[in-house]
Amino acid sequence: MPITRRIFMKSGALAVVGAAAIPSFLTRAAFADGTLGGKKKRLVVLFQRGAADGLNLVVPHGEPLYYRMRPTIAIPRSSVLDLDGYFGLHPSLAPFQSLWDAKQLAIIHAAGSPDNTRSHFDAQDYMESGTPGVKSTEDGWLNRALGTLEAKKKDASPFRAVALGANLPRTLSGAVPAVAINNVNDFGVGGRGAAAAGVSGSFESMYDSSVDAVLHGTGKETFDAVKMLKAADPARYTPAPGADYPRGRFGQSLRQLAQLLKADLGVEVAFADIGGWDHHNNEGSVHGQLANVSREFAQSIAAFWTDLGKIGEETVLVTMSEFGRTARENGTRGTDHGHANVMFVLGGPVRGGKVYGRWPGLDDRHLYEGRDLEVTTDFRSVLSEALTRHMGSADLSKTFPGFTASRPGLGFVG
């Protein structure tokens, strides 16, 4: 079936102007993601940098020890948004409530890395490489995972793997080409003059000088695709009704990611991060530092999900953080570096409305090293289930070398 400009405009892929030919990879992407037949599955990974306090995000309000261990920073039962009678959400995560009620949001508690490091740098590196305790790994798990999927490299979109940020993250580094986009509006086609003038993000400057594999064989198509993206006038992008993104880098990253996904550029995996979770002092309870970053986190994700609309039916979003916080608050009304944490999984195929994983409890006998929530679910098990049951990855031995997820898995993906 020949692809005409009329078909592309009717599909809503891009508001194309001018006479440039439609790049062939966009034709393939349109067929692949359901615009013109078939369905394209997508995986979005969000990293909470700084070690989020999972015990105050998904509160075990049914466990009295929680309140004894946190006399000033615990979330009062009267303020917790109850989920199942035992666990509840921090009130700043209120935008998640409707997603939970719609059974689109699943929670895995006591999840994390088996490595016991309390170093932010090492822990983040281990989780992004997917090889806890191994510092010699050169590439990231998400890049390796993409390499195992069926799509042929020669047929893949240059936008197949996208990171929202100034630099390519550790998790997307590797053999499979990936693109980092700090701002869709600046990811432009300024021409050789703009490149010479040092315009940040000019795609033509990349095209002129780069020898990266992302440009080999598809450089001209990529260049044309960026022209089409610019023709859609990114600055005038209007999110779907009800998609109210908060101000700030994270909200704008997810807004731009939604824009890229809805533009049918062939995005399969995407990554974004949000910092500000390292609260050693004055963490706060219902109000305070944790509440502020949690509110931005939840509002951004909820807006993103609303913005995706039907695309969400074939999308899974997973959150992760390098480790959790100590079970007990410290002397400065904060928490220190801990071990297990909480992971959120959102998506059309997700069996939500349930807290998954084995809860170890907060009794001293069950605390890791006498101070932290114990890891009972390896973070790689969560990612493995998203990759196999949603993305269709048949072999995880290269994605997570030396690790075998338990069968049949947690069951949060239908």
In the chain, % of residues over pLDDT 90:
70
Give the pLDDT confidence score for residue 184 in this predicted structure. Answer: 84
What are the respective helix, strand and coil percentages of the chain, to the nearest 5?
35, 15, 50
- Alpha-carbon distances of 304 from 171, 274, 345, rounded to whole Å: 22, 14, 14
d(CA 315, CA 348): 6
**270/215: higher pLDDT:** 270
State the average pLDDT over residues 284-313. 98
Per-residue burial over 193-228, b = 16 or more CB atoms within 10 Å of its CB, e = otherwise: ebbeeebebbbbbbbeeeeeebbeebbebbbbbbbb
Cβ contacts of 204 within 8 Å, gap of 6 or more: 189, 190, 191, 192, 194, 195, 223
Per-residue burial over 378-388, b = 16 or more CB atoms within 10 Å of its CB, e = otherwise: bbbbbbbbbbb
Give pLDDT tens digits for 229-284: 676 677 788 999 999 999 999 999 999 999 999 988 889 999 999 999 999 999 99
Asked whether the beta carbons of 210 and 174 are under 8 A apart, the reply is no
Cβ contacts of 220 within 8 Å, gap of 6 or more: 23
> pTM for this structure?
0.86
Report the side by side order of strands in the sheet with 58-59. Answer: 58-59, 88-89, 81-82
- Alpha-carbon distances of 58 from 92, 97, 110, 342, 409, rounded to whole Å: 11, 12, 10, 7, 22
- Alpha-carbon distances of 395 from 145, 377, 391, rounded to whole Å: 9, 20, 11
Which domains, ranges and CATH numbers included, belong to the chain?
Answer: 25-184+237-391 (3.40.720)
3-state secondary structure of 252: helix
Give pLDDT tens digits for 171-209: 999 999 898 988 887 775 333 333 333 333 444 444 444
Give pLDDT tens digits for 29-73: 454 444 443 478 999 999 999 999 999 999 999 999 999 999 999
Which of 285, 189, 275 shows the shortest CA–CA distance to 229?
A: 189
Give the pLDDT confidence score for residue 25 in this predicted structure. Answer: 53
Instruction: Give Cα 218 distance to the centre of its chain.
Output: 27
Give the pLDDT confidence score for residue 326 in this predicted structure. Answer: 98
d(CA 252, CA 121): 25
CA angle 270-37-154, nearest 5°? 55
d(CA 197, CA 329): 52
Give the pLDDT confidence score for residue 121 in this predicted structure. Answer: 97
- Alpha-carbon distances of 209 from 12, 16, 127, 203, rounded to whole Å: 33, 27, 32, 10
d(CA 200, CA 197): 9
Q: How many CA atoms lie within 13 A of 345 on its CB side?
A: 31
* Exposed/middle/buried for residue 298 (C-beta within 10 Å: 0-12, 13-18, 19+): buried
Confidence band, pLDDT 50/70/90 cuts, at residue 3: very low
d(CA 199, CA 76): 51
Confidence band, pLDDT 50/70/90 cuts, at residue 151: low
Give pLDDT tens digits for 91-121: 999 999 999 999 999 999 999 999 999 999 9
CA angle 285-289-294, nearest 5°? 85
**87/7: higher pLDDT:** 87
pLDDT at 5 over 60: no
Which of 133, 112, 58 shows the shortest CA–CA distance to 323?
A: 112
What is the pairing mode between strands 341-347 and 105-112?
A: antiparallel
pLDDT at 380 over 70: yes
Give the pLDDT confidence score for residue 155 in this predicted structure. Answer: 65
d(CA 159, CA 264): 10
State the average pLDDT over residues 277-300. 98
> Across the chain, what does the average pLDDT equal?
85
